[in-house]
A = this chain, B = another copy of it.
Amino acid sequence: MDMLEAEGAAGLGLRELARLVGVSAAAPYRHFDSKTSLLETLAITGYQRFSTMMGEAERDSPPERRIAMMGQAYVNFALANPNLFRLMFSPELKRDNRPGLRMAADAAFDTLRAVTAALPEGDKRIAALKAWAQVHGLAVLLLDGQIARRDGEDIEAMIAAVLADKTGSLGA
């Protein structure tokens, strides 16, 4: 996990990992079928942590603040574990349908789906997609360093401001 965060999924090498651990290059294959398999279990524990954080944000907030707090938790998780977050959403892993990964991902997103019901009236699915896109987009842009950070700016406050912003439609 440390190595994933330090080097990214592509930079994580089984040989280098084995070297750090102090074993031979082939040793990791006694524990994981392949590098992909290692990444899969990393992603799964990522989903579990994510799930826990989202669940806590849900429990510890009054109903009317839940969505905002969960959005904040979503972005915070991404900022705290950039490469893990990227791995969790990478299509490469999703590609070869690993059932364990799929289950962990579904479990994690169920927490999100549950909040959909609390959204304002109208087309629930569209509103949910919009909220998700907003939060996910903010996370990804911050992660990739696309959003210029003004010096001394409180990032958490900025996130809260974006989520609380009342700007609605971008114009039909």
A→B interface (CB under 8 Å): 10, 64-68, 71, 89-91, 94, 119-120, 122-123, 126-127, 129-141, 143-147, 158, 160-172
- In Å, the complex CA distance between A160 and B126 comes to 10
| A140, B169: Cα distance in complex, Å | 20
Contact among B71, B129, B158 for A162, CB-based, below 8 A: B129
CB-CB nearest 5 A-B residue pairs = A137-B137, A133-B137, A168-B168, A133-B138, A164-B172
Contact B134 A165 (CB under 8 A): no
Cα–Cα distance between A158 and B170 once the two chains are bound (Å): 14
A91 lies within 8 A of B122 (CB): no
Q: Can you give 30 contacting A-B residue pairs, CB < 8 Å? A: A64-B171, A65-B172, A67-B170, A68-B171, A71-B170, A89-B140, A90-B144, A91-B143, A122-B165, A122-B167, A123-B161, A126-B161, A127-B165, A127-B167, A129-B147, A129-B162, A130-B162, A131-B167, A133-B133, A133-B138, A134-B137, A135-B137, A136-B137, A137-B138, A137-B139, A163-B169, A164-B169, A164-B171, A165-B169, A167-B168
Q: Which listed residue, B10, B130, B172, touches A167 by the CB 8 Å rule?
A: B130
A130–chain B nearest beta-carbon distance, Å: 5
Given contacts A10-B10, A170-B164, contact A140 B147 (CB under 8 A): no
**Which residue on B lies nearest to A72, using beta carbons?**
B170
Instruction: Tell me, in angstroms, the Cα distance from A6 to B24 when the chains sit together.
Output: 35
- Closest B-chain residue to A75, C-beta based? B133
Q: In the bound complex, how far is the Cα of B169 from the Cα of A160, in angstroms?
A: 10
A144 cross-chain contacts in B, Cβ below 8 A: 89-91, 94
List, in ascending order, chain B residues with CB within 8 A of A171's CB: 64-68, 164
